[in-house]
């Protein structure tokens, strides 16, 4: 895999020595690679499999039916987003994918924050899809909270530093369909399933995808394939956490490459959970991540402003 594996149970239920070891392992991985595999994460495999099956049914629907669930004015933050509409930052070529978003149901009560949380979009044609999506959302959110607690300890913050920021955070569970490639014309201008990019959020928790394709960029510029093994998820640092830590924790560039031509006819499904804080969360560099040898690299900004900026850069917001 090229990335280390940690056992979340060591942090959640282990003794002090195991918990301390977990914090060090996670922090070291995020400092040097930006990615880690996690086992004993709490996500039920049966529910995961059921959700993948329902999503395959949804993405198999005719485009005109799926497009009923593409809601104008919310910039793809809930419901369906059609094929080739999202591009990596700095590119104008759309990725070879379509996706569906499940959003936060634990919405902040403050009116100025609630406006950032469009309601979830219920698909009428596929029974139990929303129920399963919400179950997976909550399960990955719970794992993410524990991982952020370990990150807080590694950063010498209070263990629960992130709790209030993410309990009603504007997190997203993204169901991605990398549709079969039908002809050479679909990959004109170097179109790929997901061009090289970094994630926007604090951390991403990725359920095992249905096929290979994920690659991460190493420090020497080369690419290495990463596959989630059975009963593991892959977790990586997003730009918000990198920014907050002044790049002490690194947001690693990654991509999903096209398969060899003999496999073009096969689809790929993927389910990343993008863990976001509340829109009013201050992303200014932490003082203990700034020193004479590591000067502050980023201007002050909050999470809502940063998300708005990035949605424009990736083509979802005009």
Domain residue ranges in the chain: 5-313
pLDDT(312) > 80? yes
Residue that the structure tokens 């998300």 belong to: 307
- pLDDT tens column, 138-171: 999 999 999 999 999 999 999 999 999 999 999 9
User: Residue 318 pLDDT > 90, yes or no?
Assistant: no
**pTM recorded for the entire structure:** 0.95
What CA–CA distance (Å, rounded) separates 24 from 115?
38
DSSP string computed for 17-76: HHHHHHHHHHHHHHHHTSEEEEES----HHHHHHHHHHHHHHHTS-HHHHGGG--TTSTT
- Cα–Cα distance between 110 and 279 in angstroms, integer? 11
Q: Give residue-wise pLDDT tens across range 246-284.
A: 999 999 999 999 999 999 999 999 999 999 999 999 999
Q: Which CATH superfamily is domain 5-313 in?
A: B-lactam Antibiotic, Isopenicillin N Synthase; Chain (2.60.120.330)
């Amino acid at each position: 895999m090229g990335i280390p594996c940690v056992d979340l149970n060591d942090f959640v239920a282990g003794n002090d020595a195991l918990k301390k070891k977990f914090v060090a392992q996670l922090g070291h991985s995020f400092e040097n690679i930006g990615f880690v595999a996690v086992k004993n994460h709490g996500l039920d495999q049966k529910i995961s499999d059921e959700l993948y099956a329902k999503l395959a049914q949804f993405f198999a629907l005719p485009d005109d039916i799926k497009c009923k669930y593409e809601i104008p004015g919310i910039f793809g933050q809930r419901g369906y987003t059609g094929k080739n509409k999202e591009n990596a930052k700095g590119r104008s070529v759309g990725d070879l994918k379509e996706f569906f978003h499940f959003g936060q149901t634990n919405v902040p009560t403050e009116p100025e924050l609630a406006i950032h949380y469009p309601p979830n979009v219920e698909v009428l044609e596929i029974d139990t899809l929303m129920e399963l999506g919400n179950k997976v959302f909550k399960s990955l959110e719970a794992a993410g909270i524990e991982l952020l607690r370990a990150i807080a300890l590694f950063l010498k913050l209070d263990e629960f530093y992130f709790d209030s920021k993410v309990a009603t955070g504007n997190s997203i569970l993204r169901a991605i369909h990398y549709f079969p490639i039908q002809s050479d014309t679909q990959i004109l201008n170097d179109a790929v399933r997901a061009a090289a990019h970094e994630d926007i959020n604090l951390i991403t928790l990725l359920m095992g995808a249905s096929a290979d394709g994920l690659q991460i960029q190493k420090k020497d510029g080369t690419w290495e394939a990463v596959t989630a093994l059975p009963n593991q998820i892959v977790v990586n640092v997003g730009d918000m956490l990198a920014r907050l830590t002044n790049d002490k924790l690194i947001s690693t560039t990654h991509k999903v490459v096209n398969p060899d031509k003999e496999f073009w006819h096969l689809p790929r499904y993927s389910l990343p959970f993008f863990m976001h804080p509340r829109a009013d969360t201050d992303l200014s560099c932490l003082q203990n991540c700034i020193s004479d040898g590591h000067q502050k690299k980023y201007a002050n900004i909050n999470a809502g402003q940063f998300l708005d900026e990035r949605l424009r850069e990736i083509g979802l917001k005009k």
